Amino acid sequence: MENDLLILETEKETMNFKSMLKLLFVIIGIIFINVQCRSGYDGLDQNTELALLLALKPDVFQVEANLTDSSGTALSDAMVYSSASTTTSGTSASVRATNTSTTSTGSTSTETTSTFDTSSQTDSSGKFTITLNVGDIELIITTKAGKSYKIKIKVKADEGFSYTGTVTTTSSDSGIKLIILKVTPLSKGTSLSKAKPFVCGYNASGDTAAPKITKIELTPETVSSGGADSTVTIKVTAEDESEGDDENKTPTGVKSITARLYSPSKTSDSGGTSTGAVLSLNSESGKYEGTATIKSYMENGVWALGSITTSDKVNSRTYQYVSSVSKTNYAFYGCGTYIDSKLPIPSVTIEGNNPDTTPPSIDSITSVTYTLANPSSSGTITTDTAIDISTQTTSPKAVTITITAVIKDNGGGSGMRYADARLYSLSRWNGNSYKGNSVYIRLSNTSGDTYSGSGTIKDYAEDGKWIVGGFWISDKAGNGKWYGRDSNSNPTNYKSYVSGGSTTESLTINSFVLSGAQTTANADFYSPVLKGLKIEKDSEDSLNFTATLTAEDTGSDEITDGSTPDTSKIAGITYIGVSLYSPLRLIDGISGNDPITLSSWTVKSGDKKTETVFTATSSFNAGNEGGTWKAAIVDLSDDAGNYRRYSIEDGSATYMYPYTTESGSSVITEYKDSKVQVGTVEKN
């Protein structure tokens, strides 16, 4: 009741203001008439009448309209957003905001005017009412089907002494029709209502709008580092508003905000690096605050706050630089399109750094060694060293390969960020085959410039020649280099690849010959196979649910000669990941609520090799979207590193997956129907 009274009082104040405004114009008119009468005139002259008419002529109209699709079907619960029609301004590639303000404390501050001027929501018949200023207006319409449309209209007050107005469509996307029903003039100076948060159509059940950023502050505006690390303080004002016409619909509240500063090279798409900060709520200021560190080896120049991600309990949105939308403002993605947020991108100028622009390099591969566990033995790998694992008593039989290398960070002093190596079986190394095994090895610093790491090859892998296939190294400034195979004319040396060129190195490619594992015909090159997925709620109204997944790792869909694999030589399933998508997320993989991921699974029955049943439990948040959620992505991998992703396409009822075959020297990949029904669950 108090809220109703408050609304009535607010409306009363608005009406009083309008009445006073009209009264003011009437008084002006009376004064004009008085002057005219005292001058001996019987009536108003034409100029006075025209002045009065123009003074009262409306510049705001209430528009009633209908929205339908191309077939004439009403678009119910669609959201309509309006703003003055503009074009992307500026041709510069720089993202430095031109409309930031600088304070006396040396900080930059940017504040959104408003992404949209106002908004409205269609009813079940596609009808909506919206208040618009006179001029060229762009309407963005979003629907529950996950589609967005743009319609440009012209709102015009009629010529002459008439106070009536017209609305005409000047351009429109195909697939949507706007039908104007009524145009009503409003008192001059009427204010537009605040636009609701941007969502894809209106969902009565659940929160589908991410938190909105209204202001960003960076301190200081310029940093003179003097060759030392420097810090930039980031402050963000954000709010999580109710959406649609339902004022009682409660948002879930801001959960987290993260931000990243982009170096000049990164914002110009020529490499570069970034540095980030996690922002925490300052209860005194009401702002989310954090500090980003710019290292002394990073670039000088203008660093832009290139991206900010806001999250509530069920949604997230990334504000980012998208040059095709705006050269100066953040854009965000929603309902199939990028939207200009009208929030300027702030920046900070860095001076005095000593940038590191040179990638690191491998000085030498000190050693490649092998270790057998039981009975134990070890040795150094040179060219085609023989390693037999058949005598091992471990299960599975295995050999550990250790790589040690001297890696130097050349100039700039940023230091190494990471280094890794890869072992390839011959089938994988040959390149023409999609089959084969590979082992990833992370190299860690042991002392000085020495890096070392180990990886294990198990007995379900391919026998024969194995190659230390390549290295990827990078420093903290983001300079990277890849060492891979040279051409067939020089197969014994690595070739290093950096942006803009490559060089044949003096480093010799190491290899060894494995025995006691599997022949190429019997090796486990095959990914786990999904056999079924079902999701059930604890009860109809419950937020809790249980997923039951059936899979096997026998290569049953790839072994076509009718043979039965030896299950003792099968790697076995080691990872399952299932991502549930909300109704809106299913449209484009970006809109709607954040996915719910199930990655902790328990074996209900089976051996992880032959047909095995796994279970996992999870729950909805009360603020999640209502409707049918689908397990849109299912990831499976085994202990041999074989991986497969099952996904849904265009609302398909069954999962599709990539299936690769060889035809001569060609490798062909196509999508195959798994015949497994998509797992679904209802959120009430």
| pLDDT for residue 266 | 84
**Burial group, residue 328, by CB count within 10 angstroms (0-12, 13-18, 19+):** buried
Residue with tokens 């397990």: 631
Sign of the alpha-carbon torsion through 632, 637, 641, 643: negative
| pLDDT for residue 477 | 85
Q: Is 571 helix (H, G, I), strand (E, B) or coil?
A: coil
Ranges 87-91, 379-383, 390-394, 580-584: which has the least confidence: 87-91
Give the confidence band of 29 by pLDDT, cuts at 50, 70, 90.
very low
pLDDT digits (tens, 9 = 90+) for 263-272: 998 888 766 7
Closest CA to 241 of 230, 254, 231, 229: 254
Beta strands in 186-273 (DSSP E): 212-219, 222-224, 230-239, 254-262
| pLDDT for residue 591 | 79
pLDDT digits (tens, 9 = 90+) for 201-242: 887 777 888 888 999 999 999 999 888 999 999 999 998 887
Give the confidence band of 55 by pLDDT, cuts at 50, 70, 90.
low
pLDDT digits (tens, 9 = 90+) for 35-51: 444 444 444 455 555 55
| Percent with pLDDT over 70 in the chain | 84
Q: Answer yes or no: is pLDDT of 90 > 50.
A: no
Closest CA to 316 of 468, 415, 207, 390: 207
Give the confidence band of 10 by pLDDT, cuts at 50, 70, 90.
very low
Give the confidence band of 86 by pLDDT, cuts at 50, 70, 90.
low
Give the confidence band of 243 by pLDDT, cuts at 50, 70, 90.
confident
Closest CA to 407 of 396, 415, 399, 397: 415
Write out the DSSP string of 34-52. HHHHHTT-SS--HHHHHHH
| pLDDT for residue 434 | 64
Phi, psi of 564 (to 5 degrees): -105, 120
Beta carbons of 292 and 308 less than 8 angstroms apart: no
Q: Answer yes or no: is pLDDT of 383 > 70.
A: yes
| pLDDT for residue 93 | 44
Mean pLDDT of 495-499: 90
The answer to whether the predicted template modeling score (pTM) of the entire model surpasses 0.75 is no
Mean pLDDT of 278-301: 93
Q: State how far the Cα of 593 lies from the Cα of 232, in Å rounded to an integer.
A: 32
Q: Answer yes or no: is pLDDT of 182 > 90.
A: yes
Q: Answer yes or no: is pLDDT of 244 > 80.
A: no
Q: Answer yes or no: is pLDDT of 6 > 60.
A: no
Length of the chain: 684
Mean pLDDT of 386-395: 94
Mean pLDDT of 415-435: 85
Sign of the alpha-carbon torsion through 579, 582, 588, 591: negative
Beta carbons of 325 and 100 less than 8 angstroms apart: no
Mean pLDDT of 528-534: 96
Write out the DSSP string of 362-386. EEEEEEEEEEEETTEEEEE--EEEE
Mean pLDDT of 116-145: 94
| pLDDT for residue 35 | 46
Q: Answer yes or no: is pLDDT of 92 > 60.
A: no
| pLDDT for residue 456 | 96
| Residue 113: how many other CB atoms lie within 10 Å | 13
| pLDDT for residue 478 | 81
Q: State how far the Cα of 458 lies from the Cα of 439, in Å rounded to an integer.
A: 10
Mean pLDDT of 250-262: 88
Q: State how far the Cα of 211 lies from the Cα of 255, in Å rounded to an integer.
A: 9
Q: Answer yes or no: is pLDDT of 294 > 70.
A: yes
Phi, psi of 28 (to 5 degrees): -60, -40
Give the confidence band of 483 by pLDDT, cuts at 50, 70, 90.
very high
Ranges 321-335, 348-362, 661-675: which has the least confidence: 661-675
Q: Is 334 helix (H, G, I), strand (E, B) or coil?
A: strand
| pLDDT for residue 432 | 56
Cα 489 to the center of its chain, rounded Å: 43
pLDDT digits (tens, 9 = 90+) for 299-352: 999 999 999 999 888 888 899 988 888 889 999 988 888 899 999 999 999 999
- Tokens coding 614: 């796994």
Ranges 508-512, 560-564, 621-625: which has the least confidence: 560-564
Those residues with Cβ within 8 angstroms of residue 636's Cβ, 6 or more apart along the chain or in another chain: 527, 528, 529, 530, 551, 573, 575, 576, 643, 644, 646
| pLDDT for residue 38 | 45
Q: Is 554 helix (H, G, I), strand (E, B) or coil?
A: coil
Q: State how far the Cα of 297 lies from the Cα of 289, in Å rounded to an integer.
A: 25
pLDDT digits (tens, 9 = 90+) for 537-557: 999 889 999 999 999 998 766
Residue bearing the bigger pLDDT, 64 or 559: 64
Q: In whole numbers, what is the pLDDT of the chain averaged over residues?
A: 85
